[in-house]
């Protein structure tokens, strides 16, 4: 089980535009093991999508810079690979499901041809009939009748398009499936269907999933591990229980996130959202990046960036967790 499929080490991603540098991702460490699901949670602009795109090295070529960091996908150094080698991995080893199913399918090709396209890209020799059959099977896997492979994307509903997207993504049985807010554009009932289907697929294909979302409910239903992202940093990481158990210690941001969700058992008139806004990524605050919004802000927080404290697998990046004692970050482990 302890087989690391994806390893991200101290990744930094900056977007450089005219005179401004947007620091989107600031030194994150992540690992995903085979067969695991990791939920990456955070506000809009926390750097979730940037992280996901960098795993396949799909960041915009002219503005995104990666000054530091390493990414290994099943041992392959993604950031230093040749484009041609990388193309072989994309789609077969790791593939991605995008946020908006409405615009993610090519409108001028039949759905079946688009699924076949991926298979043809990665497996050169395959006969037409075999291809048709496989496309049909994949569609049925995601709950769409095989004969609908002859339809065009506009003939599908949003939820079905997202299923088709997933079908395309899994057509070559990738070991890692990156799902960037796969259910955001869907309504709740379809959301449940899509998630359930992804869960089944995960079991069937034994692949790992990186699920990017800002919906904690989805995370609770679906993930083994959770990483909470804020301003380009992972402020808290742990197993599902670590994060969702309110009696355990949390990063104040995580506490704030949970405070913003209505609770069935408590009667409140108002939710308690986190005060303030995400910091401007071109001008991040000194010290802890969360301190301007933190209810427990101390003097130390304003000047000193907290290290990552951890107990077992549970990691928190906050001065409040200092009594956990173990301050070794993954980075320091490296140098040992």
Are the C-beta atoms of residues 269 and 63 closer than 8 Å to each other?
A: no
Stretch of residues binding other proteins (CB under 8 A), selected from 20-28, 74-82, 87-95, 294-302: 87-95
Q: Rounded to the nearest whole angstrom, what is the least distance from the CB of residue 269 to other proteins in the complex? A: 40
User: Binders of other proteins among 59-78, rule CB under 8 A?
Assistant: 61-62
Distances (CA, A) of 96 to 16, 32, 56: 25, 15, 9
Measured from the CB atom, the residue of 43 and 151 that comes closer to other proteins is: 151
Strands, sheet with 20-33, edge to edge from the N-terminal-most edge strand = 20-33, 4-17, 64-73, 76-77
**Which residue in 206, 213, 210, 167 sits closest to 186, CA to CA?**
213
Q: Rounded to the nearest whole angstrom, what is the least distance from the CB of residue 71 to other proteins in the complex? A: 15
The span from the CA of 2 to the CA of 313, in Å, is 13
Q: How many residues does the chain have?
A: 336
Does residue 17 belong to the site contacting other proteins (CB under 8 A)?
A: no
Measured from the CB atom, the residue of 70 and 123 that comes closer to other proteins is: 123
Are the C-beta atoms of residues 225 and 5 closer than 8 Å to each other?
A: no
Which residue of 169, 190, 210, 274 would you call a contact of other proteins, by CB under 8 A? 169
Q: Rounded to the nearest whole angstrom, what is the least distance from the CB of residue 240 to other proteins in the complex? A: 27
Distances (CA, A) of 117 to 91, 93, 113, 158, 173: 11, 16, 6, 21, 14
| β partners of residue 31 | 7
Q: Rounded to the nearest whole angstrom, what is the least distance from the CB of residue 87 to other proteins in the complex? A: 5
Does residue 188 belong to the site contacting other proteins (CB under 8 A)?
A: no
Distances (CA, A) of 15 to 48, 49, 61, 164, 227: 14, 13, 10, 32, 23
The secondary element (H helix, E strand) that includes residue 151 is none
Going residue by residue from 89 to 128, which x/- string records binding to other proteins, judged by CB under 8 A?
A: xxxx--xx-xxx--xxxxxxx-------xx--xx------
**Token pair 């909470």: residue:** 228
User: Binders of other proteins among 22-61, rule CB under 8 A?
Assistant: 56, 58, 61
Q: Rounded to the nearest whole angstrom, what is the least distance from the CB of residue 18 to other proteins in the complex? A: 14
Site residue total, other proteins (CB under 8 A) = 35
Measured from the CB atom, the residue of 88 and 137 that comes closer to other proteins is: 88
Which residue of 17, 150, 275, 295 would you call a contact of other proteins, by CB under 8 A? 150
Measured from the CB atom, the residue of 68 and 155 that comes closer to other proteins is: 155
Q: Rounded to the nearest whole angstrom, what is the least distance from the CB of residue 115 to other proteins in the complex? A: 10
Does residue 163 belong to the site contacting other proteins (CB under 8 A)?
A: no
Instruction: Extract the tokens encoding 281.
Output: 């990524």
Measured from the CB atom, the residue of 22 and 320 that comes closer to other proteins is: 22
Does residue 190 belong to the site contacting other proteins (CB under 8 A)?
A: no
Instruction: Extract the tokens encoding 302.
Output: 């304003």
The span from the CA of 214 to the CA of 289, in Å, is 19
Residues that bind other proteins (CB under 8 A): 56, 58, 61-62, 87-92, 95-96, 98-100, 103-109, 117-118, 121-122, 145, 147, 150-152, 155, 165, 168-169
């Amino acid at each position: 089980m302890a087989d690391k499929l994806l390893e991200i080490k101290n990744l930094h991603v900056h977007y450089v535009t005219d005179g401004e540098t947007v620091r989107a991702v600031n030194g994150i460490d992540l690992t995903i093991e085979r067969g695991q699901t990791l939920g990456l949670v955070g506000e809009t602009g926390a750097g979730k999508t940037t992280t996901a795109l960098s795993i396949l090295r799909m960041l915009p070529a002219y503005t995104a810079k990666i000054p530091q960091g390493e990414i290994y996908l099943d041992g392959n150094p993604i950031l230093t690979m040749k484009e041609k080698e990388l193309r072989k991995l994309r789609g077969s080893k790791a593939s991605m499901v995008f946020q908006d199913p409405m615009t993610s399918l090519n409108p001028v090709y039949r759905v079946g041809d688009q699924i076949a396209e991926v298979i043809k890209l990665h497996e050169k020799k395959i006969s037409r009939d075999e291809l048709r059959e496989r496309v049909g099977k994949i569609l049925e896997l995601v709950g769409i009748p095989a004969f609908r492979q002859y339809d065009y994307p506009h003939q599908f509903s949003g939820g079905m398009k997202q299923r088709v997207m997933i079908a395309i993504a899994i057509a070559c049985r990738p070991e890692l499936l990156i799902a960037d807010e796969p259910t955001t554009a869907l309504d709740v009932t379809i959301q449940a269907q899509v998630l359930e289907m992804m869960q089944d697929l995960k079991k069937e294909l034994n692949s790992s999933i990186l699920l990017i979302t800002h919906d904690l409910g989805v995370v609770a239903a679906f993930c083994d591990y959770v990483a909470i992202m804020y301003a380009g940093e992972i402020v808290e990481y742990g197993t599902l229980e670590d994060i969702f158990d309110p009696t355990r210690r949390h990063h104040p941001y995580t506490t704030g996130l949970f405070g913003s969700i209505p609770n069935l058992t408590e009667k409140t008139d108002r939710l308690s959202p986190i005060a303030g806004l995400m910091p401007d990524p071109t001008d991040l605050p000194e010290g802890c990046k969360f301190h301007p919004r933190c209810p427990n802000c101390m003097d130390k927080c304003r000047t000193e960036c907290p290290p990552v404290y951890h107990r077992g697998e549970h990691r928190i990046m906050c001065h409040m967790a200092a009594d956990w004692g173990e301050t070794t970050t993954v980075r320091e482990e490296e140098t040992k």
